[in-house]
Amino acid sequence: MFAIIAAVLFAIAFILELVNKGSGGINATTVSTLGLVFLALHFAPLGTVRAGRWRR
């Protein structure tokens, strides 16, 4: 749950950073913010397979 919230906040920070840059370009802060978005999404439990009842 917290990873999803962090991913949303980092995505908002990334978008705000791109808006403030205009057409200036991408620097290290922009890339690190995007990396934090992907890291937070990696830790989020999205698309995980639930362990069902396996019978043999």
DSSP letter, residue 44: S
Start-to-end CA span in the chain (Å): 34
Name 3's Cβ contacts closer than 8 Å, sequence gap at least 6: 40, 41, 43, 44, 45
Its pTM stands at: 0.63
Domain boundaries, the chain: 2-43
Model pLDDT for residues 14-42, shown as the tens digit of each residue: 888 888 766 666 777 888 888 888 888 88
Count CB atoms within 10 A of the CB of residue 54. Answer: 5
* Biggest CA-to-CA distance, the chain: 60
